[in-house]
A and B are shown apart, each in its own frame.
Chain A
């Protein structure tokens, strides 16, 4: 019996310890921001909140596909702008997040207040299901990309580009591939790694774009050429960086980040068209805290929020914010970008993923 008591008390101690760990980091962050209440008034919240200048209160759950390291980068900024708001994140690949959303929609309890996933077509789907809350941000007109100009249900908040990356230890610049098309060439046999569209929304978009442009044969040829699915963008990035694979179809932001860290990678903006994805932000209709959600959307679209996006190696949706470090300016490759019809894609995402799994699965 004594041993049982010891085990029980150890467990108790462990759970207190774990609770403490999570808790202390929360309070630690708060402590850091409390000292400068309302230092930045980037959040222009002219709401009816009695709290006044200290901004919205309560809590806000954001479902996102933005990388954890970028969230950690942005969190302090957000906390500075919203000292009284407890912002929680649920992070996952877009397709994993939307799969969770699907289950929650069915169960009638959506956990998210704000949605920041990559795939623009998903917002069209949500709008069709009448699940979004309209909000015309004060920065709406400054947004230069895809946005819902009829009902203000969503608006682009960050731009990700699917490009080609290669490992400079393995491939000389003059030998580097110039087009997506070229990757089915025997020259790249067993060298190519691609991202999984059942996990990543941008990969879903690029799969759609490439299959529209070159037909599904393109993926059959990639497969027969020994291309491998590397998981999400980050895990694919690792396989490129470590030299496990020489070439990747991957997000520009991943390449920019690791290149800056000194890893041996280089970016190719393919001549047959960069796949430009203006990922939106949208408020769920079911939110319990619409004022806070609107204020946070405004912050993301403000120059401050957009600078955070650029620090996270993505392109801004505003023309008055410069490109991320080391990237080609959007204007240079946008004219030749690959065509994408988000409304066509919206009802077909399941079909696209199904087809991809079918082709790559054997």
Chain B
């Protein structure tokens, strides 16, 4: 098919142009900015930035935190995924849902919660432990340490790895395992010699995803690491941006470029590695695997899973609720020290509603734009024969893989008016940021759905004389409706509680709720932050239920 100036080509070209302008241009500009000082190419910028000991420490801390989280998260995920996917564990569907709840909780909310649970002097957990064992005077848990930070990071980022392994187990041909079993191998041997090697690519991919996600995380390191005086690259970048001088901005870009390079290289490697190996595991048909009988291990495992779910999901929420109800913080949580005052003040505060509204509007716009552009990009990739048709999809994945902090910095440089368009300081830069960062979720949903639509349906409509726009509207979209709604929510939800980019892009007239929460917690009133956290959790939960229902169970977080 040749490129022609019809509705279809124009629509697709527009979608691609939007992606290029708002996604790729800022990132390219950022990279150029980091290397070009006063119109001259130079690496002096980098030399200066990386001569500083504290910057090197930040890089080292980032690698250490991401590496440890990756290892611990993966080691933890595999047995859990295997138990849920390959054994007769009772209630496994419930456990499967509960165990990935941290995925639904915004990580910075989780970090706030764990601060309350496990800070050394007055954390609830520590108080309980000390009450049980009066011999212990200090601690014993200190969340404000590298170990504590990794712990919280593991909780909130291991689902990447868990989901990746679970999916591989589902896809894997169980007949291979059965063959081994029939030949007399013990379940453990099957696990070691068959399951593990076959899922290795998925384990590796999941692990790398965790690594990248943690390296670009800001919420947990800023809330937990800040107090432990552990700087990572992202918190360092924010510090520089808050210092605000042009030199500091330059240093921020130099740090950002390294973070960008790190994520891109790791994801590239992961895709390349997967593409080489995955056909082994994909070969299977979806026959039900024979489940390994746990026997006497059955109930201990149920207890273990219940404990894990309590620690993962119940404890943090409880800590937030408890904190939000305390009257005077000095006396801690006691029944004669409870009040709803903080709840009242937060709910009556106009700022709470204004920021919620800003986030709602921005994420609705981002999600709607994302669904539309995502659909067109997916259509281009799946349904046309144009050369380079997969490139926009790849670019969307790229902007998604770009750490939020890097993207936000790029947007500030690109849209401060220097290049014609002045969005910084307005509501629209939030919309653009959310849109670009989460676009690839919409593309993926739409592409997967479009692949299921047989071309004959569209051809029938076309040959009956309908124009492309009409076919698109009346045939294609209705056929893939639920997936589009799913994609819409996948853009909407993370945009609604987005923190990292919001912290850099908020303005006096457009303050999103993520920033408001960050501000309350780190500056104005930590107790109000607990209230707002609970409020956000409730909204996210409602959103998630709504999403499942509207996409007919096709999509959930």
Binding site for B on A (CB under 8 A): 1, 3-4, 6-7, 10-11, 14-15, 18-19, 21-22, 25-26, 61, 63, 67-69, 72, 90-93, 95-96, 98-100, 102-104, 106-109, 111-112, 167, 169, 198-200, 223, 228-235, 238, 241-245, 258, 261-265, 350, 353-354, 357-358, 360-362
Contact = CB atoms under 8 A, between A and B. Distances in A.
A89 B216 CA distance: 32
Q: Which 4 A-B pairs have the closest CB atoms?
A: A232-B523, A90-B508, A350-B245, A231-B522
Interface residues of B, number: 66
Contacts of B141: none
Given A72-B349, A107-B424, A1 B481 contact: yes
A360 B229 contact: yes
Contacts of A228: 144, 227, 229
Dominant secondary structure of chain B at its interface with chain A: helix
Contact of A361 (B239, B354, B364, B526): B239
B332 A107 contact: no
B509 interface: yes
Given A22-B354, A103-B424, A198-B239, A92 B523 contact: yes
A115 to B, nearest CB: 11
B9 interface: no
A350 B241 CA distance: 11
A198 B222 CA distance: 14
B218 to A, nearest CB: 15
A332 B189 CA distance: 80
A7 B550 contact: yes
B485 A7 contact: yes
B227 A230 contact: yes
B525 A241 contact: no
Given A68-B524, A90-B508, A234-B523, 16 more contacts: A4-B550, A10-B546, A15-B357, A18-B360, A22-B357, A25-B348, A68-B525, A232-B523, A234-B526, A235-B521, A235-B523, A242-B332, A243-B122, A263-B330, A350-B248, A360-B229
B193 to A, nearest CB: 46
A3 to B, nearest CB: 5
Contacts of B424: 103, 107
Contacts of B53: 362
B487 to A, nearest CB: 12
B413 to A, nearest CB: 11
A361 B524 contact: no
Contacts of B345: 69
B242 A261 contact: no
A232 to B, nearest CB: 3
A356 to B, nearest CB: 9
Nearest to A167: B330
Contacts of A61: 508
Given A223-B229, A244-B121, A354-B248, A106 B416 contact: yes
Given A99-B242, A111-B507, A4 B546 contact: no
B81 to A, nearest CB: 31
A107 B425 contact: yes
Given A169-B330, A242-B329, A358-B54, A107 B422 contact: yes
Nearest to B412: A103
B329 A25 contact: no
A230 B482 CA distance: 47
Interface in B517-546: 519, 521-527, 546
Contacts of A263: 328-330
Contact of B416 (A100, A103, A167, A169): A103
Contacts of A350: 243-245, 247-248
Given A198-B243, A350-B244, A361 B229 contact: yes
A107, A229, A241, A261 — most chain B CB neighbours (10 Å): A107
B361 interface: yes
A361 B236 contact: yes
Given A4-B481, A111-B508, A244-B121, A19 B357 contact: yes
B231 interface: yes
B351 interface: yes
A93 B350 CA distance: 19
A235 B357 contact: no
A7 B507 CA distance: 30
B236 A241 contact: no
B229 A1 contact: no
A230 B115 CA distance: 13
A177 B224 CA distance: 28
B328 A100 contact: no
A25 B452 CA distance: 50
B57 A361 contact: yes
Contacts of A67: 524
B243 A357 contact: yes
B58, B244, B550 — most chain A CB neighbours (10 Å): B244
B550 A3 contact: yes
B481 A241 contact: no
A346 to B, nearest CB: 13
B140 interface: no
B417 A108 contact: yes
Contacts of B119: 244
Contacts of A235: 521-526
Contact of B243 (A258, A264, A354): A354
Contacts of A354: 243, 245, 248
Contacts of A22: 350, 353-354, 357
B57 A3 contact: no
20 contacts: A4-B481, A4-B550, A18-B353, A19-B357, A67-B524, A68-B525, A72-B349, A96-B523, A99-B244, A107-B422, A111-B509, A200-B523, A228-B229, A234-B523, A235-B525, A242-B329, A353-B242, A357-B240, A358-B52, A362-B57
B392 to A, nearest CB: 25
A293 to B, nearest CB: 16
B387 interface: no
Contacts of B481: 1, 4
Interface in B58-112: 58
Contacts of B284: none
Given A4-B481, A362-B54, A18 B227 contact: no
A350 B240 CA distance: 10
Interface in B242-277: 242-245, 247-248
Contact of A234 (B330, B485, B524): B524
Contacts of B329: 238, 241-242, 263
Interface in B396-412: 412
Contacts of B330: 167, 169, 241-243, 258, 262-265
B473 interface: no
B549 interface: yes
A3 B231 CA distance: 46
A262 B328 CA distance: 8
B533 to A, nearest CB: 14
A96 B226 CA distance: 17
A95 B242 contact: yes
B356 interface: yes
B478 interface: yes
A111 B302 CA distance: 57
Contacts of A7: 485, 546, 550
Nearest to A18: B357
B285 interface: no
A90 B519 CA distance: 12
B552 interface: yes
B425 A109 contact: yes
A72 B528 CA distance: 15
